[in-house]
Structure 1
Amino acid sequence: MDSTIKDCMIIDIPKIEDQRGNLSVIEKDIIPYEIKRVYYLYDVPSGSFRGGHAHKNLTQFLIALSGSFDIHLNNGKETKTVNLNRPNKGLLIPSGTWREIDNFSSGAVCLVLASDVFDEADYIRDFDDFISYKNLK
């Protein structure tokens, strides 16, 4: 998939408001793929970053369950930075998009819903290799 930066989009997650608290639900019509892996990032030390890679095939949906963080996106031609800070909004990141996540607030939790299981061969971990990969497509 040759994604554009516009393909990296914020998607609203339905929120059911109640005096006892809010509830959000992610079902099959919210994100455009079947979830095959779920993981989360937390206790990220101040000044640290996560990501620093792209995927050849994997699509991800990131949600700030708690706190906030910035996601820097690059598709080889365009860049964009998104701040996630609400648990009822998530960022869809299609394959072929370089991502770096930083500026984690204290107590931030980043939930990731992935379209496939872990496969090291799907990762591009060097930015120059990523640019070469994008130029070959």
Structure 2
Amino acid sequence: MIEAKVEMLEFQQLGDERGQLVVVEGAKDIPFEIKRIFYIYGTDTGVVRGQHANLRTEFVLINVAGRSKVKVMDGLGNETVFCLNRPHTGIYLPKMTWKEMYDFSEDSVLLCLASEHYDGDEYIRDYNTYQEMVKEQREIK
């Protein structure tokens, strides 16, 4: 079950005639300390990335170049699509949020900030399994 809320984040833009600068600090501009950073680029428009949820890891996704879409689902039938197309905005994804990234522009660079180091065992890669886990967690609470 999603404990925190998926939300769009807007980061302060600092700039002058030389250009723009955006600073993102862990536990200040985003709600966690950053333990891992990776980025996705060179993805064809028709490719869907992600297609998983995480037991422990929270993410912030920022399209630092180009654009992409992110569909998030809560396992209860609710879904929202976010368009990431400004390098000073991002989307916060709490743990146990199903995510699918798609519709990448040719110049898209999707920066991913993660709260945990990579652990393949905490990934839920089957949506039906994810739905069952959400349902079980909801019944416990």
User: What TM-score comes out, normalization by structure 2 length?
Assistant: 0.92
Aligned to 1:42: 41
Aligned to 1:7: 5
Q: CA deviation at 1:83?
A: 0.3
**What code does the residue aligned with 1:129 have?**
T
Runs of 5+ consecutive residues of structure 2 not aligned to the other structure: none
Aligned residues: 135
SS for the counterpart of 2:105 is coil
Distance 2:36 2:81 in 1: 24
Distance 1:27 1:54 in 2: 24
Aligned to 1:26: 24
Runs of 5+ consecutive residues of structure 1 not aligned to the other structure: none
Q: CA deviation at 1:60?
A: 0.2
SS for the counterpart of 1:17 is strand
Aligned to 1:86: 86
Q: CA deviation at 1:46?
A: 2.6
RMSD: 1.2
SS for the counterpart of 1:53 is strand
Aligned to 2:133: 133
Distance 1:79 1:96 in 2: 13
**What code does the residue aligned with 2:132 have?**
S
Percentage of pairs with the same residue:
33
SS for the counterpart of 2:131 is helix
Q: CA deviation at 1:3?
A: 1.7
Distance 1:22 1:7 in 2: 29
Distance 1:96 1:122 in 2: 10
**What code does the residue aligned with 1:81 have?**
V
Aligned to 2:96: 96
Distance 2:90 2:49 in 1: 17
Distance 1:127 1:136 in 2: 14
Q: Deviations over 1:33-80 (max 9, x none)?
A: 110000000000231110000001110000001000000000112110
**What code does the residue aligned with 1:130 have?**
Y
**What code does the residue aligned with 1:118 have?**
Y
User: What TM-score comes out, normalization by structure 1 length?
Assistant: 0.95
Question: Moved runs in structure 1, 4+ residues, more than 6 A?
Answer: none
Distance 1:9 1:91 in 2: 6
Alignment map for 1:104-123 (pairs within 5 Å): 104-123=104-123
